[in-house]
Structure 1
Amino acid sequence: MTQIKGWHVLMWFCMAFAVIIGVNLTLAYQAVRTFPGLEVRNSYIASQSFDTNRTAQTALGWDVSATLTDHTLSLIVLEDGTPVAPVVEQATFGRATNVQFDETPEFTFDGQALRAQVIAGEGNWNLRLKLRAADGTLFQQRVIVEVAP
């Protein structure tokens, strides 16, 4: 039987810490690599007009929802229960945690909803929107997309 000596213990100690450090570095790299980025560049400046923008946006009275059926993304904007077609200034459809699959859908209004063809599957999808109302009010929201079975 082999006797355990001091250098054996040191070797196992160093190997254990090398594995721990290696795993931590790998996870940190993956977290930074897949992070989609910031919502705003300067949160202080964005906060200066937040309440005013929120009040104007709430005054529109819009109920906004999005559904995904097969490869059709439907954006439903209701004002007092009636579908409306605001101007889509910016729309980004993608995963909540990864920008790799982000798309910019081209919406068309069919009288009931704004619809666009997208490449998507099951999972958690978001639609980040900037819509402009007829009165010029900017509506910004991140909508969680419901995926139809």
Structure 2
Amino acid sequence: MTKQREITGRQVFFFVSGAFAIVIGVNLTLAYNAVKTFPGLEVKNSYVASQQYDEVRAAQEALGWTVEPTYADGVLELAVTDADGAPVEVLNLRGILGRATHTRQDMTPEFTFANGVYSTPVELDRGNWNFRMQATAPDGTPFQQRVVIHVRKQK
């Protein structure tokens, strides 16, 4: 029978210190990557924005608009319809198209309105995309919405 070596206090210290070093290293790496990829603030002053939130939301909901995105063959289409399902032609449509997790691929596409649909040619990789849409109704009501676009593998 072989004699087992005794565990010393020094060995326990190095084992516990190594385990803590690994945990701390992983946490620092994750925190660094989270901060590095944070796209930024949505508004400059959240308190000021909150003072008008209910009023702006009620006006936007009164429009009754629905936005349905479609992406195929390198063309992004947005169907904006009113409460009756009729196409809506807005005064202006703009926004930022990009990933939810970083700003490296952000772009500002130019949409054209034809046949009741807004469309723009754009190449999107597979995955989730957000279009942070801003539009103005014919009566001047502002409309904002984050439109989620799921791009699946192209055929």
**Shift of residue 3, structure 1, vs aligned partner:** 4.1
Query: Which structure has the higher relative contact order (CA within 8 Å, separation 6+)?
Result: 1
Where structure 1 has 5 or more consecutive residues not aligned to the other structure, the ranges are none
Match of 1:96 in 2: 100
Distance change >3 Å, CA 106–CA 120, structure 1 → 2: same
Match of 1:7 in 2: 10
Report the Cα distance in structure 2 between the residues aligned to 1:14 and 1:136, rounded to whole angstroms: 63
Give the TM-score normalised by structure 2.
0.86
**Shift of residue 2, structure 1, vs aligned partner:** 4.7
Deviations, residues 48-83 of structure 1 (Å, cap 9, x unaligned) = 111111121122221112121132111111123221
Candidates 18, 37, 40, aligned match of 2:40:
37
Candidates 38, 58, 81, aligned match of 1:78:
81
**Shift of residue 133, structure 1, vs aligned partner:** 1.1
Aligned-residue identity in percent: 50
Report the Cα distance in structure 2 between the residues aligned to 1:88 and 1:118, rounded to whole angstroms: 19
Match of 2:23 in 1: 20
Count of aligned pairs: 149
Give the TM-score normalised by structure 1.
0.89
Report the Cα distance in structure 2 between the residues aligned to 1:55 and 1:83, rounded to whole angstroms: 21
Q: Partner amino acid for 1:66?
A: P
Is the contact made by 1:64 and 1:76 (CA closer than 8 Å) also made in structure 2?
yes
Where structure 2 has 5 or more consecutive residues not aligned to the other structure, the ranges are none
Is the contact made by 1:130 and 1:141 (CA closer than 8 Å) also made in structure 2?
yes
Report the Cα distance in structure 2 between the residues aligned to 1:135 and 1:104, rounded to whole angstroms: 24
Match of 1:147 in 2: 151
Q: What is the RMSD computed on CA atoms of the aligned residues?
A: 1.8
Report the Cα distance in structure 1 between the residues aligned to 2:136 and 2:42, rounded to whole angstroms: 19
